[in-house]
């Protein structure tokens, strides 16, 4: 749901003007805690086979719905007797892939488009911005569902739907800052030296614009994780028996009265990753903006 937050970036500036005094330690703290949380999740997801000996898809009909902390199963088992810890770890790979895969592609494409649009201007800019306005008019989630519906529900088609729709936020942010940078002396100087447009864009403007984009990407990653889980939950993204966290929550919903942990544990995992990205974004924002 990336369309939520370009406003936050702007409002943050407002907030920042008032909140200059927060201590250096607090600033670093959100960066360290956020980065730490994310890193921990990434490491255990990648090292899943070392952490658990269970196969996430292995069915054990004799031990269904075992409670957490029961013998051999730290997080218990689901209705098929599959080990939840193993499913969480392997499912984490899918959700992290969604966060990075969806976010990185739109980040690169959107930034490139915004840079070009803002720097070149003219009819190219006008055309691109009209497209951006249009896609912006749609409720993001609805448009993604509609595209997934047409292409057929699957994880890959979900990526396509996100790529098609969420580059617009990056394009908007980059274009805005590129327009501002174009009037700055360092860009005028680079142009006066006779550098070509490509060099000015990539070597001079991009590094100055990138921090805003990266900060937004952190918020966007939270949105993409939630989106991936929501689509899995609705049966429009990852499909059972995939251990994707949204699918696990959806599976656990039928056992909510008897086995609360089935949907609670993946819910907590999503919150941890989301808080990790949010804190990392806050921390980066503080450092990058007070740096200038």
Query: Does residue 14 bind other proteins (CB under 8 A)?
Result: yes
Among 143, 180, 210, 287, binds other proteins (CB under 8 A): 143
Among 62, 150, 192, 193, binds other proteins (CB under 8 A): 150
CB 72 within 8 A of CB 85: no
Q: How many CB atoms lie within 10 A of CB 71?
A: 6
- Of residues 154, 206, 161, the one with CA closest to residue 181: 206
Query: Does residue 267 bind other proteins (CB under 8 A)?
Result: yes
Query: Does residue 152 bind other proteins (CB under 8 A)?
Result: yes
Site mask for other proteins (CB under 8 A), range 53-92, x = bound: ----------------------------------------
Query: Does residue 6 bind other proteins (CB under 8 A)?
Result: yes
Q: Nearest approach, Cβ of 143 to other proteins (angstroms)?
A: 7
DSSP state of 238: S
CA 261, CA 250: separation in Å to the nearest integer? 12
Number of residues forming the site for other proteins (CB under 8 A): 60
Distances (CA, A) of 236 to 140, 141, 145, 161, 230: 15, 12, 8, 11, 8
Q: Nearest approach, Cβ of 187 to other proteins (angstroms)?
A: 29
- Of residues 85, 77, 84, the one with CA closest to residue 61: 77
Q: Nearest approach, Cβ of 109 to other proteins (angstroms)?
A: 18
Query: Does residue 25 bind other proteins (CB under 8 A)?
Result: no
- Of residues 232, 188, 228, the one with CA closest to residue 96: 228
């Amino acid at each position: 749901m990336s369309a939520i937050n370009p406003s936050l970036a702007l409002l943050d500036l407002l907030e920042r003007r008032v909140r200059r005094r927060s201590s250096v330690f607090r600033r670093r703290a959100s960066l360290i805690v956020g980065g730490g949380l994310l890193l921990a999740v990434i490491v255990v997801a990648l090292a899943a086979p070392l952490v658990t000996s269970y196969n996430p898809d292995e069915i054990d009909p004799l031990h269904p719905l075992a409670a957490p902390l029961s013998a051999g199963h730290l997080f218990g088992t689901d209705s098929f007797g599959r080990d939840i810890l193993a499913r969480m770890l392997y499912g984490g790979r899918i959700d992290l892939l969604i966060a990075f895969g969806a976010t990185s592609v739109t980040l690169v494409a959107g930034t490139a488009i915004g840079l070009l649009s803002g720097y070149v201007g003219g009819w190219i800019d006008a055309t691109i911005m009209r497209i951006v306005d249009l896609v912006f008019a749609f409720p993001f989630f609805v448009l993604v569902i509609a595209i997934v519906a047409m292409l057929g529900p699957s994880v890959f088609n979900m990526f396509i739907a996100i790529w098609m729709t969420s580059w617009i936020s990056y394009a908007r942010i980059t274009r805005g800052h590129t327009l501002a940078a174009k009037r700055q002396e360092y860009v005028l100087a680079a142009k006066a030296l006779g550098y070509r447009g490509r060099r000015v864009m990539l070597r001079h403007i991009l590094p100055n614009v990138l921090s805003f984009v990266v900060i937004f990407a952190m918020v966007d990653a939270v949105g993409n994780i939630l989106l991936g889980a929501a689509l899995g939950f609705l049966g429009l993204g990852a499909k059972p028996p995939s251990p994707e966290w949204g699918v696990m929550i959806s599976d656990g919903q039928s056992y909510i009265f008897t086995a609360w942990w089935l949907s609670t544990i993946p819910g907590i995992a999503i919150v941890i990753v989301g808080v990790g990205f949010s804190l990392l974004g806050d921390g980066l924002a503080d450092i990058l903006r007070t740096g200038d």
